[in-house]
């Protein structure tokens, strides 16, 4: 097969345009072209009224000497041999293997660690503190309705992990020479995700589809001999005098032995981070970001990004990605943008308010939202990982009080925030956060440098997205869990640098930042565990 990159065609090109392009590009006749497979489709909307689709194509030819053709195009970097993107298992477990690896956490990272281990014949035991996704969904929606928080079953904790109630964006900037992201997406499609996630450049799944997919993937792991235990919190990692993991102790007191433990606990398991710190597992402080969710009408973003093409079915609801470097040395950026979505209450601790965003596959809610956050570096919290967690917690508890101590979130219109005014009323943009918001002064909700930076950034963003800093755009606080404040350092063998047999993985350990990269990291960790188990 031959791959052709950067094929640029107008947004409304005809069905035959791709065929015509390939035939002309390769100077072949139409009978020699057997099939065109779209490997990737993105768009270039830098000129909003002149938008182009950008394709990467894999074409199957007949009666063509492909080697000769590649020689002809040797100096054209747009034409290459199509790479082999199929996933190859690194090993297979022997029938008589007795040790079972343990995976802690069933977010995307733990899910893929468990799935790949199971597919290789190692029968993993997956331990998840939260409930199965169906039960968890009930607890999460109950909290949003009634303000009753279950600290073990919520947006952060439970089957599917933190990204379950999300927009389900599936792109990442991690280097992926082995196409592991494709393996993640193929497993998602096998579990019911729309097939287009394989080839569109910014795929998303939406929250309801994710819930049913996670259930199907669970069934697959169990069919392959894996075991999954919900409502099972790991209280302690057991480590012998040679710094070798020997197993885990559960909150029930039960001990499960294993010399191979994947730690895919996400960024919100603060009690587990503390346990690891107390046990002497090597942790380091890591940068994270804090800020607000901003909401606009989706039509404002669509018009700014797509102009007359707003509403085009191939473009969907518009997104954006913004960054501004401030005079005070801080950077402000947009994060986890959710077109046509809602702002959600994402705390896992009592008397705390944390925001995040989610949407359905259709992205048809009236508002667009994203986090507008300011980077915080370890120097801001004495380079101490526990202090980073303490800072997050302080801001979340402060937001709870600002919101009226009822789990309502503190909110303010952008106009009032920029003018330093305390209160006002809602304008055209109705806040979507549930249970509710309380209008207040957000300037005390974050460190002064963060407020100063966001006040500088919002008007700058308005130059890129017209309407961004409109007076009635809505800010809801606080966004504190953009990434883990902790890195659990691992070596090239994927094991903790001071605890053998412990495999820190995914976002909580600092090795992923999103659903796709967490899944990719899960595959890598499964491979490392499998190879080590066979060498032992």
7 belongs to the binding site for ligand FAD (CB under 6 A): no
CB closer to ligand FAD out of 42 and 415: 42
3-class DSSP string for 323-351: EEECCCCCEEEEEEEECCEEEEECCCCCC
168 belongs to the binding site for ligand FAD (CB under 6 A): yes
Cis preceding-peptide flag for 435 (omega within 30 of 0): yes
CB closer to ligand FAD out of 226 and 508: 508
Among 56, 100, 102, 105, binds ligand FAD (CB under 6 A): 105
Among 55, 57, 108, 524, binds ligand FAD (CB under 6 A): 108
Binding mask 273-312 for ligand FAD (x = CB under 6 A): ----------------------------------------
Please give the Cα distance from 106 to 123 (Å, whole number): 15
Residues in 111-130 at the binding interface with ligand FAD, rule: CB under 6 A: 127-130
Among 21, 56, 79, 107, binds ligand FAD (CB under 6 A): 107
Q: How many CB atoms lie within 10 A of CB 312?
A: 15
What's CA 462's distance to the chain center, in Å?
A: 26
Q: Nearest-5° angle of CA 453, CA 457, CA 458?
A: 125
Nearest-approach distance from CB 520 to ligand FAD, in angstroms: 11
Residues 6+ apart with CB under 8 A from 43: 11, 51, 52, 53, 54, 201, 314, 315
Applying CB under 6 A, the site for ligand FAD has a residue count of 44
- In the chain, count H helices and then E strands: 12, 23
What are the Cα distances from residue 40, in Å, to 36, 58, 486?
A: 12, 9, 34
CB closer to ligand FAD out of 207 and 445: 207
Q: SS3 helix, strand, coil % of the chain, rounded to 5?
A: 30, 25, 45
187 belongs to the binding site for ligand FAD (CB under 6 A): no
Q: How many CB atoms lie within 10 A of CB 533?
A: 20
Beta bridge partners of 143: none
Three-state DSSP class for residue 370: strand
Three-state DSSP class for residue 531: helix
Instruction: Name the packing angle between helices 180-190 and 108-119 (round to 10°).
Output: 90
Give the side-chain half-sphere CA count within 13 A for 147: 14
Binding mask 485-504 for ligand FAD (x = CB under 6 A): --------------------
Binding mask 348-387 for ligand FAD (x = CB under 6 A): --------xxx-----------------------------
507 belongs to the binding site for ligand FAD (CB under 6 A): yes
Among 101, 203, 266, 477, binds ligand FAD (CB under 6 A): 266
Among 22, 28, 79, 155, binds ligand FAD (CB under 6 A): 155
Nearest-approach distance from CB 258 to ligand FAD, in angstroms: 14
101 belongs to the binding site for ligand FAD (CB under 6 A): no
CB closer to ligand FAD out of 258 and 309: 258
Nearest-approach distance from CB 400 to ligand FAD, in angstroms: 17
Among 119, 258, 272, 480, binds ligand FAD (CB under 6 A): 272
Q: In what order do the strands lie in the sheet with 227-229?
A: 227-229, 125-127, 102-104, 261-263, 502-504
Beta bridge partners of 103: 126, 262
Nearest-approach distance from CB 185 to ligand FAD, in angstroms: 12
CB closer to ligand FAD out of 168 and 388: 168
CB closer to ligand FAD out of 107 and 226: 107
346 belongs to the binding site for ligand FAD (CB under 6 A): yes
Please give the Cα distance from 127 to 231 (Å, whole number): 8
CB closer to ligand FAD out of 309 and 514: 514
162 belongs to the binding site for ligand FAD (CB under 6 A): yes
Among 53, 59, 264, 285, binds ligand FAD (CB under 6 A): 264
- Name the residue with tokens 């035939």: 23
Quick one: DSSP state of residue 482? S
Among 514, 520, 524, 529, binds ligand FAD (CB under 6 A): 514
Q: Which H helix or E strand runs over 495?
A: none
Among 101, 161, 226, 375, binds ligand FAD (CB under 6 A): 161
345 belongs to the binding site for ligand FAD (CB under 6 A): no
Give which of 402, 408, 400, 398 is closest to 435, Cα–Cα.
Answer: 408
Give which of 191, 216, 169, 141 is closest to 359, Cα–Cα.
Answer: 169
158 belongs to the binding site for ligand FAD (CB under 6 A): yes
Nearest-approach distance from CB 153 to ligand FAD, in angstroms: 9
Among 191, 200, 234, 413, binds ligand FAD (CB under 6 A): 234
Q: How many CB atoms lie within 10 A of CB 350?
A: 10
8 A C-beta contact, residue 32 and residue 62 = yes
Among 21, 39, 143, 157, binds ligand FAD (CB under 6 A): 157
Q: Site residues (CB under 6 A) for ligand FAD?
A: 104-110, 127-130, 155, 157-158, 161-163, 165-169, 233-234, 264-266, 269, 272, 336, 344, 346, 356-358, 506-508, 512-516, 518
């Amino acid at each position: 097969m031959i791959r052709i990159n950067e094929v640029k065609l107008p947004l409304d090109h005809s069905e035959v345009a791709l065929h015509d392009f390939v035939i002309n590009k390769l100077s072949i006749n139409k009978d020699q072209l057997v099939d065109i497979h779209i490997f990737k489709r993105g768009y270039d909307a830098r000129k909003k009224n002149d938008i182009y689709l950008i394709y990467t194509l894999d074409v199957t030819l007949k009666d063509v000497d492909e080697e000769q053709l590649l020689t002809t195009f040797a100096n054209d970097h747009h034409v290459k041999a199509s790479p082999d993107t199929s996933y190859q298992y690194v090993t297979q477990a022997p029938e008589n293997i007795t040790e079972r690896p343990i995976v802690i956490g069933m977010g995307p990272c733990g899910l893929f660690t468990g799935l790949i281990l199971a597919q290789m014949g190692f029968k993993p035991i997956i331990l998840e503190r939260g409930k199965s996704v169906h039960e968890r969904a009930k607890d999460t929606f109950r909290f949003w309705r009634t303000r009753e928080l279950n600290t073990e079953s919520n947006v952060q904790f439970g089957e599917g992990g933190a990204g379950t109630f999300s927009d389900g964006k599936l792109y990442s900037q991690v280097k992926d020479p082995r196409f592991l992201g494709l393996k993640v997406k193929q497993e998602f499609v096998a579990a019911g995700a729309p097939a287009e996630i394989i080839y569109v450049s910014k795929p998303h799944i939406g929250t309801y589809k994710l819930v049913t997919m996670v259930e199907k993937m669970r069934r697959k792991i169990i069919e392959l001999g894996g075991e999954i235990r919900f409502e099972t919190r790991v209280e302690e990692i057991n480590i012998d005098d040679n710094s070798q993991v020997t197993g885990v102790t559960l909150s029930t007191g039960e001990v499960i032995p294993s010399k191979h433990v994947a730690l895919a606990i996400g960024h919100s398991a603060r009690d587990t981070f503390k346990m690891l710190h107390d046990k002497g597992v090597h942790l380091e402080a890591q940068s994270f970001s804090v800020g607000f969710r901003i909401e606009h009408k989706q039509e404002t973003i669509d018009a700014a990004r797509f102009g007359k093409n707003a509403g085009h079915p191939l473009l969907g609801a518009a997104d954006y990605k913004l960054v501004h470097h401030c005079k005070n040395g801080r950077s402000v950026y947009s994060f986890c943008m959710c077109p046509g979505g809602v702002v959600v209450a994402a705390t896992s601790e009592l008397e705390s308010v944390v925001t995040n965003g989610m949407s359905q596959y259709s992205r048809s809610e009236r508002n667009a939202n994203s986090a507008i956050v300011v980077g915080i570096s370890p120097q801001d919290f004495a380079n101490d990982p526990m202090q980073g967690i303490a800072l997050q917690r302080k801001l979340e508890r402060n937001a709870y009080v600002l919101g009226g101590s009822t789990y309502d979130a503190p909110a303010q219109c952008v106009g009032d925030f920029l003018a330093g005014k305390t209160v006002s009323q809602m304008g055209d943009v109705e806040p979507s956060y549930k249970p509710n918001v309380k209008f207040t002064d957000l300037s005390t909700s974050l460190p002064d440098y963060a407020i100063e930076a966001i006040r500088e950034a919002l008007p700058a963003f308005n130059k890129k997205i017209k309407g961004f800093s409109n007076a009635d755009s809505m800010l809801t606080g606080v966004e504190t869990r953009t990434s883990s404040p902790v890195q659990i350092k691992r070596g090239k063998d994927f094991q903790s640098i001071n605890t053998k047999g412990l495999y820190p993985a995914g976002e909580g350990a600092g090795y992923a930042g999103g659903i796709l990269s967490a899944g990719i990291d899960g595959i890598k960790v499964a491979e490392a565990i499998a190879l080590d188990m066979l060498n032992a």
